[in-house]
Amino acid sequence: MGQLVHSLPEGEPVWGVTLLAGELYLGTWKRRDEVEVYDIISYCLLRRLTVPVFRGLVDMTSCIHYRCVYIGDNIGKCVHRLDAQGAFTWWTVNDKPWGLSVNTAHNVIVTCDEVRKIKEFSSHGDLLWELALPDDVIKPWHTIQTRSGQFIVCHGDINDPVNHVCVMSADGRHIVHSHGGQPGSDTGQYNEPWHLAVDDNEFVFVADYGNRRVTLLSPTLQYVRQVVSRDQLKWEPMRLCLDTERRLLYVAENECKDGNWTAGRVVVLSVI
């Protein structure tokens, strides 16, 4: 089980968490036009950045190669790019984005849940390709591309017949490995697997929203262990970010009351 290292103060619901150049970037639901930047050692707030023409935060990721942060905007149907010098640009996705990640080619992988597509964009927004997912991949939330070109996808809503994490072939036509099944709380089940993180050995961390836990899977999606339990979280885990060098997992967890997001925070856990 992961060991709690730090908890950032409770505040507005957190929908984005990522790392860049020794700093932690957070995006909150209510203060949608701002990004908070924290020091990763002291966890002190360093600054707030205003994001122009920003409407609906859903996820964040970063790229060390281009030294920038990407922010998904599902209301504006676009991705915003914040570089290390503080300059903002954006490009359209033409569908509502949900999950974001960066692949080994330093391009942005955007998961569009409503149309069940994965799209790859260059760092400056050129559409390189898009992939329609098979019929049995329902409600895809987040995708990470492996070094071999395969795709790890988490998918399934509470009312869907299947809640899965799967590895798909590079052409997107075949499911190579999978973990999960009908929604539930047993070891081999999920209740809305919303977000992923992958370490250097391609072990997979899964934020299991409805079960309020984080599960660790092998590269072939065999169950390894539960790395964050519901006892270590106050609310539901929504977003993950893994510091592979320090083996620290950042978990954004939020409170939902009567269908409304009311509060959130980020907890930091050692997952050695």
pLDDT tens by residue, 190-230: 999 999 999 999 999 999 999 999 999 999 999 999 999 99
Least confident of 16-30, 41-55, 224-238: 41-55
At 34 the pLDDT is 83
**Using one digit for the tens of pLDDT, what is the confidence trace for 254-268?**
998 888 889 999 999
Token pair in block for residue 177:
């490995």
At 52 the pLDDT is 77
Angle at 37 between CA 32 and CA 41, to 5 degrees: 145
φ, ψ for residue 231, nearest 5 deg: -70, -20
At 272 the pLDDT is 80
Q: Terminal CA-to-CA distance of the chain, rounded, Å?
A: 9
CB contact at 8 A, 210 and 236 = yes
Token pair in block for residue 68:
């920038």
Confidence of residue 21 (pLDDT cuts 50, 70, 90): very high
At 5 the pLDDT is 93
Q: Is the pLDDT of residue 238 over 80?
A: yes
Domains of the chain and CATH, by start: 14-223 (2.120.10.30)
Confidence of residue 53 (pLDDT cuts 50, 70, 90): confident
At 30 the pLDDT is 67
- The rounded percent of the chain whose pLDDT value lies above 70 is 99
Measured torsion, CA atoms of residues 51, 155, 110, 268, in degrees rounded to the nearest 10 = 50
User: What strands lie across the sheet with 213-217, from one edge to the other?
Assistant: 193-198, 204-208, 213-217, 223-228
Q: How far is CA 168 from the centre of its chain?
A: 18
Q: Is the pLDDT of residue 32 over 70?
A: no
Instruction: Spell 234-263 as b/e; 16+ CB within 10 A means b.
Output: bbbbbbbbbbeeeebbbbbbbeeeeeebeb
Confidence of residue 31 (pLDDT cuts 50, 70, 90): low
**Using one digit for the tens of pLDDT, what is the confidence trace for 100-140?**
999 999 999 999 999 999 999 999 999 999 999 988 898 99
Of the candidates 100, 194, 212, 108, the residue with the CA atom closest to the CA atom of residue 155? 194
Q: What is d(CA 160, CA 173) in angstroms, rounded to the nearest whole number?
A: 21
Q: Is the pLDDT of residue 56 over 90?
A: no
Report, as an integer, the average pLDDT of 176-187: 93
Q: What is d(CA 199, CA 196) in angstroms, rounded to the nearest whole number?
A: 10
Token pair in block for residue 171:
């052409």
**Using one digit for the tens of pLDDT, what is the confidence trace for 143-179?**
999 999 999 999 999 889 999 999 999 988 889 999 9
Of the candidates 136, 125, 135, 131, the residue with the CA atom closest to the CA atom of residue 151? 131
- Longest Cα–Cα distance of the chain, Å, equals 46
Instruction: Spell 7-22 as b/e; 16+ CB within 10 A means b.
Output: ebeeebbbbbbbbbee
At 150 the pLDDT is 96
User: What strands lie across the sheet with 260-270, from one edge to the other?
Assistant: 3-7, 260-270, 248-257, 236-243
Indicate the SS3 state at residue 68.
strand
At 40 the pLDDT is 95
CB contact at 8 A, 152 and 167 = yes
Report, as an integer, the average pLDDT of 223-240: 95
Of the candidates 54, 62, 133, 141, the residue with the CA atom closest to the CA atom of residue 97? 141
The mean pLDDT of the chain is 93
Q: How many CB atoms lie within 10 A of CB 223?
A: 12
At 260 the pLDDT is 87
